[in-house]
Amino acid sequence: MMRQSRIAVAVYLATALVSAAGCGSEAAAPVVQDVDLGQPPAPGPEQAGDGGGVAFAIDRLFLGDTDRDGKKAAGSWKQYGFNLDGKVSSTVSQDLCKPVDDTAPSEVYPDGADGIDNAFGSKLVGLISNLLTDPSTRVSDAIGNGDFTVIFKVDGLGEQSSYNPLTAKLYGGATLGEAPTWDGTDRWPVVPELLDDAQDVESSKVVFPASYVVDDTWVSGPDSQVTFQLNLTVSNTIIGLTIRNVRIAMDLAPDHKAVVKGTIAGVLETAVLVEELRGVIGAVQPNFCEGPALETILDQVRRASDIMKDGGQDPSKECDAISIGIGFTAKAVQLGEIAPPAVTTGVPCQPAPADGG
């Protein structure tokens, strides 16, 4: 069986994109610049880990079509993510990167609550909701079936409300083979693509060596230099979803056995995302590999760019990345065996040839 559901987010996005393009703009927000809102809490005093650690597996994902209670609400995307560029941007802001192809600022901005940057939720997930009802529910149902998950293993986490620092690792969860019980005994296999050593489950490529806990909120670290590249399979094609400058925060339950409110944020380099989606679209709709339809769709993705790939802004340059914010909850699990590597048959749609090529 193909591990297609592990790329469910990208599949739903691609399916929507091949069916429609563009979405409405929202009213402008007041212009407030260079603020420190929409950020995870800062680290507290040093406090070494004193527990056995916990592995948390995502059990629900919120893509922006619903609020955190799972209810549909306009503008739900505004609550997912962080203020990556330190600004609260509006359609009349002057200190932002230039929209791609002279796209109107109203099609790119404003930000979400407290300057949250989430063009993925604002512009791309809206297409999903128009064409596929309840996309967040569909993805969460796939997790509930044991098809895939994402796992955060926080070493040294104990019962105290604050720690600093704690080493944490991120894993991709492969097919479990059955519905999880979510009682802490599930042994979830992990994908080898996110390991430096495919024989060593502790060799995660995505490590947060300076993560910390403040008042029962775990934060991935004080900087945002980590890149999360998740290589997954859809229709026998390897897809790499690359999130740069990853920032993650999780509000923990009092017993530290569950995550009651989580956020993953970062930026998707536009050129990389376009090529990733080229393969996904080709896998879902092979006929789109010919003719202008595919490039028209990908141009819509490019025009969603709202930020620079370093997570900042530069008014002298064209935006080259798309901000992303995703919400989640999670439950305690055990790390299982290392799953077999995914199988690929190549990229269905090759890049368009250069002029004169």
pTM: 0.85
pLDDT of residue 146: 92
Q: Which of 18-32, 72-86, 187-201, 279-293 has the lowest mean pLDDT?
A: 18-32
What kind and span of H or E run contains 15? helix 8-17
pLDDT of residue 252: 98
pLDDT of residue 350: 65
b/e map 130-159, b = 16+ CB within 10 Å:
eebeebbbbbbebbeebbbbbbbbbbbbee
pLDDT of residue 348: 67
Q: Following DSSP, what letter does each residue of 222-258 receive, concatenated? A: SS----EEEEEEETTEEEEEEEEEEEEEEEEPTTSSE
Reported as a single tens digit per residue, the pLDDT across 214-258 is: 999 999 998 767 888 654 433 344 445 689 999 999 999 999 999
Q: Which of 262, 351, 273 is nearest to 307 (CA)?
A: 273
Q: Following DSSP, what letter does each residue of 276-307 receive, concatenated? A: HHHHHHHHH-GGGGSSSHHHHHHHHHHTT--B
* pLDDT over 70 (residue 172): yes
* pLDDT over 50 (residue 199): yes
* pLDDT over 70 (residue 325): yes
Residue 19 DSSP SS3: coil
pLDDT of residue 4: 42
Quote the tokens at residue 211: 């993560």
pLDDT of residue 248: 95
* pLDDT over 80 (residue 19): no
Sorting pLDDT into bands at 50, 70 and 90, what band is 20? Answer: very low
CA 181, 128, 90: angle at the middle one, nearest 5? 110
pLDDT of residue 106: 86
Rg, the chain, Cα only: 20
Q: Judge whether 298 and 314 are in contact, CB under 8 Å.
A: no
pLDDT of residue 344: 57
Reported as a single tens digit per residue, the pLDDT across 276-293 is: 878 777 766 777 777 788
pLDDT of residue 26: 41
pLDDT of residue 219: 97
Q: Judge whether 79 and 63 are in contact, CB under 8 Å.
A: no
User: In the chain, what is the straight-line distance between the N-terminal and C-terminal CA atoms, in Å?
Assistant: 39
- Read off the pLDDT of each residue in 92-119 and give the average, rounded to a whole number: 92
- Read off the pLDDT of each residue in 177-186 and give the average, rounded to a whole number: 97
pLDDT of residue 231: 45
Task: Report the C-alpha gap between 308 and 313 in whole angstroms.
Answer: 6
Q: Following DSSP, what letter does each residue of 116-139 receive, concatenated? A: ---HIIIIIHHHHHHHSS-HHHHH
Q: Which of 139-153, 188-202, 256-270 has the lowest mean pLDDT?
A: 139-153
Sorting pLDDT into bands at 50, 70 and 90, what band is 297? Answer: confident
pLDDT of residue 36: 52
Task: Report the C-alpha gap between 51 and 213 in whole angstroms.
Answer: 13
Q: How far is CA 84 from CA 47, 103, 245, 312, in A?
A: 27, 21, 9, 7
Q: How far is CA 38 from CA 10, 16, 75, 212, 249, in A?
A: 26, 29, 16, 18, 12
Q: Judge whether 321 and 268 are in contact, CB under 8 Å.
A: yes
Q: How far is CA 16 from CA 20, 143, 180, in A?
A: 6, 21, 29
Give the sign of the dihedral formed by CA 105, CA 109, CA 110, CA 111. Answer: negative
* pLDDT over 80 (residue 134): no
pLDDT of residue 241: 67
What's the DSSP call for residue 140? H
Q: Which of 52-56, 140-144, 255-259, 260-264 has the lowest mean pLDDT?
A: 140-144
pLDDT of residue 294: 82
Neighbours of 163 (CB within 10 A): 23
Task: Name the phi and psi angles at 126, rounded to 5.
Answer: -60, -35
Task: Report the C-alpha gap between 73 and 71 in whole angstroms.
Answer: 6
